[in-house]
């Protein structure tokens, strides 16, 4: 019987910017702590901005710094600091796909820093604890909420799924192309497609939907350069109803104060679809 081991924990504090790999992370109702609680939006329309519009957003690198994050850029020497909790400031509704939710504007100075580097007139917004964005009710378990993530709180991918792609394509892509929160080792490729419920570090997770992949996966996260892969090859064996699926969206179950994921923990399958 296969052992499934948690091999990566990743958060992406600002949606579509670079991520941070962690040894442990607290699980919250809307996802892993700090994951996608900030987003860049157009200054005039408050519409979310991702690597779909600006490939080089991946070159912004967050890191923990005192009571917040330090954001650097691979091509610029300057940086900005963003505090963890922002509860006061100008509030506005921002748009994520078909959703709108309340967010807080933080700093004109930070807006200018991002705008100058990207060449795009944008501003940084934060989702406070009081803001509520509901997960897709067609797949949600109950009264589930989500951060600025595309659809659901947590994305899970097995390392064997990436290994299979690399073996077929001859590439040596990194997992960061697919921007998962949780990566595990063990089992055959895409086994996570069959899970309905699993337990990790004492927290239950419910698998709700396979993840449909977009052109962000074609952007090399170290350079911002886009190509045709992995979508070209994945389309030959992971095309379902004209959508390329890779990874599974999950929703956490009942949470406790000690709902903390720890690297190296065993992932236990509780129910399969």
CATH of the domain at 86: 2.40.33.20
At 75, the pLDDT band (50, 70, 90 cuts) reads very high
Taking the model in full, what pTM does it have?
0.96
Residues 6+ apart with CB under 8 A from 203: 27, 252, 253, 255, 256, 259, 261
- The whole-angstrom separation of Cα 207 and Cα 170 is 30
Give the number of domains in the chain: 1
pLDDT, one tens digit per residue, over 181-194 is 999 999 999 999 99
pLDDT, one tens digit per residue, over 126-136 is 999 999 999 98
How distant is the alpha carbon of residue 35 from its chain centre? 7
Q: Range of 268's domain? A: 4-272
- The whole-angstrom separation of Cα 223 and Cα 176 is 12
Query: At residue 13, what are phi and psi to the nearest 5 degrees?
Result: -50, -45
205 exposed, middle or buried (CB, 10 Å; 0-12, 13-18, 19+)? Answer: buried
Using alpha carbons, select from 37, 43, 80, 40 the residue that is nearest to residue 56. Answer: 40
């Amino acid at each position: 019987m296969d052992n499934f081991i948690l091999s990566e924990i990743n958060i992406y504090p600002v949606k579509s910017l670079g991520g941070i790999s962690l040894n442990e992370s607290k699980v919250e109702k809307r996802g892993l702590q700090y994951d996608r609680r900030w987003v860049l939006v157009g200054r005039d329309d408050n519409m979310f901005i991702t690597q779909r519009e600006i490939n080089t957003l991946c070159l912004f690198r967050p890191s923990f710094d005192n009571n917040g994050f330090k954001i650097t850029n691979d091509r610029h020497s300057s940086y900005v600091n963003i505090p963890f909790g922002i509860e006061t400031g100008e509030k506005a509704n921002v748009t994520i796909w078909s959703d709108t939710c309340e967010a807080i504007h933080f700093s004109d100075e930070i807006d200018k820093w991002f705008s100058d580097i990207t060449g795009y007139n944008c501003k940084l917004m934060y989702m406070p604890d009081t803001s509520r964005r509901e997960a897709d009710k067609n797949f949600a378990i109950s009264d589930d909420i989500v951060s600025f993530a595309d659809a659901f709180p947590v994305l899970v991918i097995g390392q064997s799924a990436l290994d299979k792609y690399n073996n077929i394509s001859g590439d040596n892509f990194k997992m960061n192309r697919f921007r998962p929160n949780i990566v595990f080792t063990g089992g055959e490729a895409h086994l996570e497609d069959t899970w309905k419920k699993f337990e990790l570090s004492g927290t239950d997770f419910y698998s709700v939907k396979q993840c449909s992949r977009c052109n962000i996966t074609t952007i090399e996260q170290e350079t911002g350069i886009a190509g045709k892969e992995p979508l070209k090859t994945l389309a030959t064996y992971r095309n379902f109803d004209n959508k390329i699926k890779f990874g599974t969206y999950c929703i956490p179950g009942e949470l406790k104060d000690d709902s903390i994921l720890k690297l190296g923990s065993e992932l236990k399958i509780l129910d399969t679809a």
